[in-house]
Amino acid sequence: SSTIDKIAAGEVVERPSSVVKELVENAMDAGARAVTVEIKEGGCSFIRVTDNGGGIEKEQVRKAFFRHATSKIRTVEDLYQVKSLGFRGEALSSIAAVSMVELITKTRDELTGIHYRLEGEKEREFSEVGAPEGTTIIVRELFFNTPVRKKFLKSYATEGSYISDLMEHMALSRPEVAFQFMMNGQVRFHTSGNGDIREILYRIYGREIIKELIPFSAQAEGLQIEGFLGSPSVVRSNRNFEFFFVNGRYIKSPLLSKGLEAGYKAYLMQHKFPFALLHFTIDPDRIDVNVHPSKMEIRFHDQPGLYAFLEEKVREALRRREM
Ligand code: ADP
Ligand code: MG
């Protein structure tokens, strides 16, 4: 692949977790109800994502790896109104530029599937195989042809923990999808896909977190918030248990964190943080979204208003619970 392709690939594929994110999002976009992710050595040597989604048609397989090949014709504005997570058509081509990729896919209507294999964008195999409906993508030896990028990776343990966090957020954002996550041959967690967020929390974080969950629901113009607040007695020493999803995507937001924490103020000691899981459905006209492949930034138009609203509703919910 050309230098330009490799540089472009670096935009999308910063580290193993970005590969996993793109592949799992593709599985979601393909309507998968079950997704298995397996990694070895922090995803540096091996990533496999298997889904039971719609698969890729034979004559689309090669095309899916072209740059700017997307079957999801979307504008950036559309992204926040529709279900599709991908829209740039850059992920597969970028991943293929910096790794050894293998794909097995079959659609419902075709009798056989396709086994496709690339080494740094060079085609090594394209053959028919028997396969279940859906797609499996294996990514081996990430950055094998870009030693400089490889050098910037952290330890296997750290890269693995990024993927683990990502998988947890994915599972929490899609309770109706059954996820299985395996690391170095061991199942780290799996979810049933029955839609029950409590069950997912239990499977990932254990019993304490779900001991007392306070259902939370609030509406304002162009805004709907649904989810759970943790018991004020279950405090954490960092913000990793404040989960915010905006229009289906996990985000980190200092504004939302501070609004949430302000609502808990009567209960929280210094340097302590609550557990909360909140889904925000926001009218796309009220936010600006900068969707960079490797991260996402959201700007709410009325930041002080949103902060005050969240603080007030959280405080109310906690007070109601005491009555
Ligand atoms: P994007 O998601 O932005 O369209 P990608 O490079 O991630 O671009 O994928 C390119 C195309 O390959 C997608 O538009 C889709 O048609 C197809 N594709 C990728 N992964 C899958 C999958 N797991 N199941 C079905 N189709 C897929
Ligand atoms: Mg994609």
The full 3-state SS of 105-142, as one line of letters, equals EECCCCCCEEEEEEECCEEEEEEEECCCCEEEEEEECC
For residue 77, pLDDT over 90 is answered with no
**What is the pLDDT, as a whole number, of residue 293?**
55
Residue 232: pLDDT over 80: yes
Give residue-wise pLDDT tens across range 147-182. 989 999 999 999 999 999 999 999 999 999 999 999
Going by pLDDT thresholds of 50, 70 and 90, the confidence category of residue 83 is: very low
Contact in structure between 77 and 68 (CB atoms under 8 Å): no
Binding site membership of 87 for ligand 1 (Cβ less than 6 Å) = yes
pTM of the model: 0.90
Query: Whose CA is closest to 227, among 262, 189, 200?
Result: 200
d(CA 236, CA 257): 13
Lookup: tokens for 142 = 């990430």
| Nearby residues of 60 by Cβ (< 8 Å), 6 or more positions away | 71
- 24, 29, 63, 103: which to mutate for ligand 1, most atoms within 8 A of CB? 29
Check: CB of residue 211 under 8 Å from CB of residue 234.
Answer: yes
Ligand nearest to the CA of residue 64, numbered in listed order:
1
**pLDDT band at residue 5 under the 50/70/90 scheme:** low
Ligand nearest to the CA of 49: 1
3-state secondary structure of 258: helix
ipTM greater than cut 0.90: yes
From atom 1 of ligand 1, which residue's Cα is the shortest distance away?
89
The reported pLDDT for the residue numbered 3 is 60
Q: Is the CB of 88 under 6 A from ligand 1?
A: yes
Provide the mean pLDDT of the chain.
90
Position with higher pLDDT, 313 vs 298: 313
Q: Return the minimum-mean-pLDDT range out of 68-77, 112-121, 239-248, 297-306.
A: 68-77
Average pLDDT over residues 212-235: 94
Rounded Cα–Cα distance for residues 66 and 86 (Å): 15
Share of the chain above pLDDT 70, in %: 88
26, 79, 87: residue to mutate for ligand 1 pocket, most atoms within 8 A of CB? 26
CA-nearest residue, atom 21 of ligand 1: 26
**All residues at 6 or more sequence positions from 129 whose CB lies less than 8 Å from its CB, including other chains:** 104, 112, 113, 114, 115
Query: Higher pLDDT residue, 41 or 72?
Result: 41
Which residues lie closer than 8 Å to 73 by C-beta, 6 or more apart?
none
CATH topology (fold) of 211-322: Ribosomal Protein S5; domain 2 (3.30.230)
Segments of the chain assigned to CATH 3.30.230.10: 211-322
For ligand 1, is residue 28 a contact (CB within 6 Å)? Answer: no
Where in the chain do CATH 3.30.565.10 domains reside? 3-190
On the question of pLDDT at 294 being above 90, the answer is: no
Sheet holding 223-230, edge to edge: 213-220, 223-230, 276-282, 242-246, 249-251
Mutation choice for ligand 1 from 49, 67, 71, CB with most ligand atoms inside 8 A: 71
For the residues 32-43, what does the mean pLDDT come to? 98
pLDDT, position 82: 43
What is the predicted pLDDT for the residue at 84?
56
**Which ligand 1 atom sits nearest the alpha carbon of residue 69?**
10
Fold of 3-190: Heat Shock Protein 90 (3.30.565)
Q: Which ligand is nearest to the CA of 90?
A: 1
Centre of ligand 2 from the C-alpha of residue 171, in Å = 18
Phi and psi, residue 74, nearest 5° = -140, 150
> Which ligand number lies closest to the CA of residue 71?
1
- Pocket flag, ligand 1, residue 21 (CB < 6 Å): no
Across the range 214-219, mean pLDDT stands at 96
Compute CA 19 distance to the chain's CA centroid, rounded to the nearest angstrom.
11
Specify the pLDDT at position 299: 85
Residue 202 has pLDDT above 80, yes or no: yes
- Compute CA 311 distance to the chain's CA centroid, rounded to the nearest angstrom: 27
182 Cβ inside 6 Å of ligand 1 = no
Six-digit token string for 131:
């396969």
What confidence score (pLDDT) does residue 72 get? 60
Tell which residue, 101, 167, 108, 102, has the closest CA to residue 134: 108
- CA 196 vs. chain centroid, Å, equals 18
Residue 89 Cβ < 6 Å to ligand 1 = yes
